[in-house]
A and B are shown apart, each in its own frame.
Chain A
Amino acid sequence: DAGVIQSPRHEVTEMGQEVTLRCKPISGHNSLFWYRQTMMRGLELLIYFNNNVPIDDSGMPEDRFSAKMPNASFSTLKIQPSEPRDSAVYFCASRQQQLGNTIYFGEGSWLTVV
Protein backbone atom coordinates (compact mmCIF):
# COMPACT_ATOMS: atom_id res chain seq x y z
CA ASP A 1 0.00 0.00 0.00
CA ALA A 2 1.16 3.52 -0.70
CA GLY A 3 2.09 5.54 2.35
CA VAL A 4 1.39 9.20 2.96
CA ILE A 5 2.43 11.10 -0.14
CA GLN A 6 3.67 14.65 0.05
CA SER A 7 4.68 17.13 -2.62
CA PRO A 8 6.88 18.89 -3.32
CA ARG A 9 9.74 17.11 -1.58
CA HIS A 10 11.90 20.21 -1.78
CA GLU A 11 11.04 23.81 -2.47
CA VAL A 12 13.11 26.94 -2.49
CA THR A 13 11.17 30.16 -2.79
CA GLU A 14 11.70 33.85 -2.34
CA MET A 15 10.34 35.74 0.60
CA GLY A 16 6.84 37.02 -0.09
CA GLN A 17 5.87 34.24 -2.46
CA GLU A 18 2.99 31.88 -1.87
CA VAL A 19 3.86 28.30 -0.99
CA THR A 20 1.47 25.38 -1.26
CA LEU A 21 2.32 22.00 0.21
CA ARG A 22 0.21 19.00 -0.71
CA CYS A 23 -0.61 15.75 1.00
CA LYS A 24 -2.40 12.56 0.10
CA PRO A 25 -3.11 10.49 3.21
CA ILE A 26 -3.18 6.72 3.33
CA SER A 27 -6.40 5.46 1.80
CA GLY A 28 -9.02 4.76 4.44
CA HIS A 29 -7.42 6.93 7.10
CA ASN A 30 -9.78 9.42 8.72
CA SER A 31 -7.34 11.72 10.55
CA LEU A 32 -4.72 13.98 8.99
CA PHE A 33 -2.02 16.01 10.68
CA TRP A 34 0.39 18.71 9.54
CA TYR A 35 3.59 18.98 11.58
CA ARG A 36 6.53 21.34 11.24
CA GLN A 37 10.07 20.51 12.28
CA THR A 38 12.78 23.07 12.96
CA MET A 39 16.03 22.92 14.88
CA MET A 40 14.83 25.52 17.34
CA ARG A 41 11.34 24.23 18.08
CA GLY A 42 11.49 20.53 17.21
CA LEU A 43 8.29 18.88 15.97
CA GLU A 44 5.21 21.04 16.29
CA LEU A 45 1.64 20.14 15.39
CA LEU A 46 0.21 22.83 13.14
CA ILE A 47 -3.28 21.49 12.48
CA TYR A 48 -5.25 18.28 12.79
CA PHE A 49 -8.26 17.16 10.75
CA ASN A 50 -10.70 14.41 11.62
CA ASN A 51 -13.07 13.25 8.87
CA ASN A 52 -11.97 16.29 6.83
CA VAL A 53 -12.97 18.73 9.57
CA PRO A 54 -10.30 20.83 11.33
CA ILE A 55 -10.29 19.81 14.97
CA ASP A 56 -7.30 21.67 16.36
CA ASP A 57 -5.55 24.53 14.55
CA SER A 58 -4.04 26.08 17.64
CA GLY A 59 -0.56 25.34 16.33
CA MET A 60 -0.95 27.39 13.16
CA PRO A 61 1.57 30.16 13.80
CA GLU A 62 -0.26 33.08 12.25
CA ASP A 63 -2.75 34.14 9.63
CA ARG A 64 -0.21 33.61 6.87
CA PHE A 65 -0.76 29.87 7.32
CA SER A 66 -3.91 28.12 6.16
CA ALA A 67 -4.83 24.48 5.65
CA LYS A 68 -7.67 22.79 3.85
CA MET A 69 -8.93 19.27 3.44
CA PRO A 70 -11.57 19.33 0.69
CA ASN A 71 -11.94 15.55 0.69
CA ALA A 72 -10.65 12.45 2.42
CA SER A 73 -7.76 11.99 0.02
CA PHE A 74 -6.21 15.43 -0.22
CA SER A 75 -5.00 18.27 1.96
CA THR A 76 -3.03 21.46 1.40
CA LEU A 77 -1.00 23.70 3.65
CA LYS A 78 -0.54 27.18 2.28
CA ILE A 79 1.80 29.94 3.41
CA GLN A 80 1.13 33.39 2.01
CA PRO A 81 3.28 35.43 2.11
CA SER A 82 6.23 33.25 3.01
CA GLU A 83 9.04 34.46 5.25
CA PRO A 84 12.56 33.11 5.89
CA ARG A 85 11.53 31.94 9.36
CA ASP A 86 9.06 29.56 7.72
CA SER A 87 11.99 27.48 6.47
CA ALA A 88 11.48 24.01 7.91
CA VAL A 89 10.51 20.46 7.10
CA TYR A 90 6.75 20.11 6.92
CA PHE A 91 5.33 16.67 7.57
CA CYS A 92 1.91 15.36 6.74
CA ALA A 93 0.71 12.32 8.66
CA SER A 94 -2.44 10.25 8.76
CA ARG A 95 -4.20 7.75 10.97
CA GLN A 96 -7.19 5.42 11.03
CA GLN A 97 -8.46 6.10 14.50
CA GLN A 98 -10.42 2.88 14.76
CA LEU A 99 -7.39 0.78 13.88
CA GLY A 100 -5.03 1.40 16.73
CA ASN A 101 -4.25 5.09 16.56
CA THR A 102 -0.83 4.74 14.96
CA ILE A 103 0.13 7.86 13.01
CA TYR A 104 2.08 7.36 9.78
CA PHE A 105 4.21 10.13 8.35
CA GLY A 106 5.01 11.19 4.83
CA GLU A 107 8.57 11.86 3.77
CA GLY A 108 8.26 15.56 4.42
CA SER A 109 8.48 18.71 2.35
CA TRP A 110 11.70 20.66 2.82
CA LEU A 111 10.92 24.35 2.49
CA THR A 112 13.58 27.03 2.20
CA VAL A 113 12.51 30.65 2.01
CA VAL A 114 15.30 33.00 0.96
Chain B
Amino acid sequence: AQTVTQSQPEMSVQEAETVTLSCTYDTSESNYYLFWYKQPPSRQMILVIRQEAYKQQNATENRFSVNFQKAAKSFSLKISDSQLGDTAMYFCAFMSPYTGTASKLTFGTGTRLQVTL
Protein backbone atom coordinates (compact mmCIF):
# COMPACT_ATOMS: atom_id res chain seq x y z
CA ALA B 1 0.00 0.00 0.00
CA GLN B 2 1.12 3.51 -0.74
CA THR B 3 2.00 5.86 2.09
CA VAL B 4 2.47 9.62 2.09
CA THR B 5 4.53 11.39 4.75
CA GLN B 6 4.52 15.08 5.57
CA SER B 7 7.11 15.62 8.26
CA GLN B 8 6.34 19.28 9.00
CA PRO B 9 3.16 19.60 11.07
CA GLU B 10 3.39 23.40 11.11
CA MET B 11 5.28 26.10 9.29
CA SER B 12 5.31 29.85 9.30
CA VAL B 13 6.41 32.32 6.65
CA GLN B 14 6.35 36.06 6.33
CA GLU B 15 4.32 37.71 3.63
CA ALA B 16 6.20 37.98 0.31
CA GLU B 17 8.72 35.35 1.34
CA THR B 18 9.16 31.86 -0.11
CA VAL B 19 8.37 28.66 1.73
CA THR B 20 8.81 24.98 0.85
CA LEU B 21 6.60 22.20 2.19
CA SER B 22 8.01 18.68 2.18
CA CYS B 23 6.36 15.44 1.13
CA THR B 24 7.71 11.95 0.65
CA TYR B 25 5.85 8.87 -0.47
CA ASP B 26 6.38 5.18 -0.82
CA THR B 27 5.27 3.14 -3.80
CA SER B 28 6.47 0.32 -6.01
CA GLU B 29 4.67 1.68 -9.06
CA SER B 30 6.44 3.50 -11.85
CA ASN B 31 3.51 5.61 -13.00
CA TYR B 32 1.28 7.59 -10.68
CA TYR B 33 -0.05 11.05 -9.89
CA LEU B 34 0.89 13.41 -7.09
CA PHE B 35 -1.16 16.33 -5.85
CA TRP B 36 -1.07 19.19 -3.40
CA TYR B 37 -4.40 20.29 -1.96
CA LYS B 38 -5.01 23.38 0.14
CA GLN B 39 -7.58 23.47 2.93
CA PRO B 40 -8.28 26.96 4.30
CA PRO B 41 -10.27 27.52 7.50
CA SER B 42 -13.47 27.08 5.49
CA ARG B 43 -12.42 23.39 5.23
CA GLN B 44 -12.91 23.28 1.46
CA MET B 45 -10.34 21.09 -0.32
CA ILE B 46 -8.82 23.07 -3.16
CA LEU B 47 -6.47 21.58 -5.75
CA VAL B 48 -3.21 23.54 -5.88
CA ILE B 49 -1.07 21.57 -8.31
CA ARG B 50 -0.64 18.11 -9.81
CA GLN B 51 2.27 16.14 -11.23
CA GLU B 52 2.33 13.03 -13.40
CA ALA B 53 5.22 10.77 -12.47
CA TYR B 54 6.15 10.09 -16.10
CA LYS B 55 6.80 13.79 -16.69
CA GLN B 56 10.27 14.93 -15.74
CA GLN B 57 9.37 18.61 -15.85
CA ASN B 58 8.25 20.03 -12.55
CA ALA B 59 4.69 21.38 -12.53
CA THR B 60 4.11 25.10 -11.99
CA GLU B 61 0.94 27.05 -11.30
CA ASN B 62 1.57 30.78 -10.88
CA ARG B 63 3.27 31.20 -7.48
CA PHE B 64 3.16 27.48 -6.76
CA SER B 65 5.73 25.02 -8.05
CA VAL B 66 6.91 21.56 -7.15
CA ASN B 67 10.26 19.86 -6.90
CA PHE B 68 9.57 16.30 -7.98
CA GLN B 69 12.41 13.87 -7.32
CA LYS B 70 11.17 10.49 -8.50
CA ALA B 71 14.18 8.45 -7.42
CA ALA B 72 14.04 9.95 -3.96
CA LYS B 73 10.23 9.70 -3.89
CA SER B 74 10.04 13.31 -2.89
CA PHE B 75 7.43 15.89 -3.91
CA SER B 76 7.89 19.27 -2.27
CA LEU B 77 5.73 22.36 -2.80
CA LYS B 78 7.28 25.80 -3.11
CA ILE B 79 5.13 28.86 -2.56
CA SER B 80 6.72 32.07 -3.79
CA ASP B 81 5.70 35.57 -2.77
CA SER B 82 3.55 34.20 0.04
CA GLN B 83 0.24 35.94 0.63
CA LEU B 84 -2.01 36.05 3.68
CA GLY B 85 -4.57 34.07 1.71
CA ASP B 86 -2.12 31.18 1.49
CA THR B 87 -2.69 30.50 5.19
CA ALA B 88 -4.16 26.99 5.21
CA MET B 89 -3.55 23.33 5.78
CA TYR B 90 -1.70 21.76 2.86
CA PHE B 91 -2.09 18.10 2.01
CA CYS B 92 0.14 16.05 -0.23
CA ALA B 93 -1.63 13.16 -1.96
CA PHE B 94 -0.75 10.15 -4.11
CA MET B 95 -2.88 8.31 -6.62
CA SER B 96 -2.34 5.29 -8.81
CA PRO B 97 -3.71 5.78 -12.32
CA TYR B 98 -5.13 2.30 -12.50
CA THR B 99 -8.72 1.33 -11.97
CA GLY B 100 -9.92 -0.70 -9.07
CA THR B 101 -9.05 -0.35 -5.45
CA ALA B 102 -5.74 1.39 -6.13
CA SER B 103 -7.30 4.31 -7.92
CA LYS B 104 -7.91 6.56 -4.96
CA LEU B 105 -6.17 9.46 -3.24
CA THR B 106 -3.95 8.62 -0.29
CA PHE B 107 -3.27 11.72 1.80
CA GLY B 108 -0.48 12.79 4.08
CA THR B 109 -1.25 14.18 7.51
CA GLY B 110 -0.94 17.77 6.35
CA THR B 111 1.22 20.82 7.05
CA ARG B 112 -0.38 23.84 8.63
CA LEU B 113 1.04 26.99 7.02
CA GLN B 114 0.68 30.37 8.65
CA VAL B 115 1.54 33.46 6.62
CA THR B 116 2.35 36.44 8.82
CA LEU B 117 2.74 40.14 8.21
Contacts and interface: CB of A to CB of B under 8 A. Distances in A.
Given A43-B91, A91-B45, A58 B101 contact: yes
B68 interface: no
B33 A107 contact: no
Contacts, number: 56
B35 interface: yes
B65 to A, nearest CB: 17
Chain B interface residue count: which class? 20 to 34
Interface in B37-73: 37, 42-47, 50
Interface string B68-110: 0000000000000000000000010001010111011101011
Interface of A: 31, 33, 35, 37, 42-43, 45, 48, 50, 55-56, 58, 89, 91, 93, 97, 100-105, 107-108, 110
Interface of B: 33, 35, 37, 42-47, 50, 91, 95, 97, 99-101, 103-105, 107, 109-110
